[in-house]
Homo-oligomer: A and B are copies of this chain.
Amino acid sequence: MRAVLKFGGSSVATIELMKKVAEVIIKRKKLYDELIIVVSAMGKTTNQLISMAKEISLYPNKREMDLLISTGEVVSISLLSLILQEMGENSIALTGTQAGILTKGTHTKNKISDIHTEKIESELALGKIVIVAGFQGFNEQGDITTLGRGGSDTSAVALAAKLNSICEIYTDVDGIYGIDPRLYKDAKKLKQIDYEEMKEMAFLGAKVMEPRSIDIAQNHGVIVYVAKTLSDEEGTYIMNYKDGLEDKKITGIAVSDKVIMVSMKRIPYSAKLTAELFRDLAKNEVNVDVINQNPSIGGNMNIAFTAHADDLDAVNEVLDQFKVKYPVVNILRIDDVVKVSLIGSAMRTQSGIAAEAFEVLADNDLEFKLVTTSEISISYTFDRSKKDKVIEVLAKHFNV
């Protein structure tokens, strides 16, 4: 049996930590016949590289950005391979290109379209531990590409799917909690979580794994195990829905500070104009989250929407153009908001959970700005000042 093991940036932040990661790898080698290791860049390397580029340009060319930040993972795979070799193991480090990770899409936000696993397979056949640079690949033009937020998880799960293996994600938390223990001290760890719930939690701000990677895991039936790098504690399995989980109304609560909210007032009522705004946002690869549109006085309308704070530059670019074209529109960007989401597969079958949540909030005078729901979640946007209170009240009530 083979396994893909993924170690994030904080697990490989220094050479000392990398040595500990190597020990984990060697331990896992007793359990699995073949190992593929995916690593992120060391610690804050990627951010440092981005800062250098931002010193040069506010809107740096994304092809060159990808090339620049791809170096972070190349450094970590080389060093980890040297460490394993020094410990007597047989290993080889492969860049995204060398590992055959073909991508398509926009630079800095590419998607994996295929993996040509011949090189990996041949190195595994030679008995080597294969170390692959996470977060990166190449496109059909031969450019080096990166996969955007949480890209190393995506690399790991995609490799596991293609190589028919389990995927173990080692991180700085010891599993998946119903709510981030840093936000709520009584948070409870989950033994397992359904793909759908995990995706929803990740999508809504839980920082453990990127929804895209869960999507790939679900589509290919890859079992994902999330655990803490240097701990013997049992982690959490992400896999298909099992009986017994339905007892809980709410599986988890996700909180996202990385939200920007844009409020636009006095927009002349016109479907064309709204379409133009969201088309421009889409063109700039802004993932618009909640949208609220309502008529206002004088035949005008108001629009409010939220987006991920990482898309701030792109949002500003679109808003700046919009302001020039439609000077009459009043545009206000509010950055001190927070999104709190309740997630639970039970919402599919049990009615009344949403009503119960609204009631709890009302009982505690917690007024929200925007609300949106999906099949298995409800998300509220609040003033950031209300964050702690909201978490306390909801986590306690739903026992997450």
A49–B55 alpha-carbon span in the complex (Å):
23
Is there an interface contact between A52 and B15, defined as CB atoms closer than 8 Å? yes
* In the assembled complex, A126 has its CB within 8 A of some CB on chain B: no
Complex-state Cα separation, A60 to B78, whole angstroms: 10
Which stretch, A81-89, A243-251, A259-267, touches the partner chain B? A81-89
Check: A144 CB closer than 8 A to any chain B CB.
Answer: yes
Q: Quick one: which of A59-82 are within 8 Å of B by CB?
A: 60-61, 63-65, 67-68, 70-71, 74-75, 77-79, 81-82
Are A65 and B78 in touch, CB under 8 angstroms? yes
CB 8 Å contact bits of A119-137 with B (1 = contact, 0 = none)? 1000000000000000000
The docked-state distance in angstroms from the alpha carbon of A119 to that of B74 is: 23
Distance to closest chain B CB from A251 (angstroms): 41
Size of A's binding interface in residues, CB under 8 A: 35
- Smallest Cβ distance from A338 to chain B, in angstroms? 34
Pick the residue among B52, B64, B95 that contacts A85 (CB under 8 A): B64
Nearest CB in chain B: distance from A274 CB, A? 34
Instruction: Tell me if A271 counts as interface (CB < 8 A to partner B).
Output: no
A274 to B98, CA, bound (A): 43
Report Cα–Cα, A56/B86, bound state, in Å: 7
Tell me whether A93 is interfacial, beta carbon within 8 Å. Answer: yes
Distance in Å: Cβ of A39 to nearest Cβ of chain B: 13
Residue of B nearest to A68 (CB): B78
3 nearest A-B pairs in the assembled complex, by CB-CB distance: A68-B78, A71-B71, A57-B86
Pairs A–B under 8 Å by Cβ, sample size 9: A53-B78, A56-B83, A60-B85, A63-B92, A64-B85, A65-B82, A67-B74, A68-B79, A68-B82
- A→B interface (CB under 8 Å): 15, 49, 52-53, 55-57, 60-61, 63-65, 67-68, 70-71, 74-75, 77-79, 81-83, 85-86, 92-93, 95, 97-98, 119, 142-144
Task: Beyond A53-B78, A68-B75, list 7 extra A-B contacts (CB 8 Å).
Answer: A60-B85, A61-B82, A64-B93, A67-B77, A74-B74, A97-B97, A98-B142
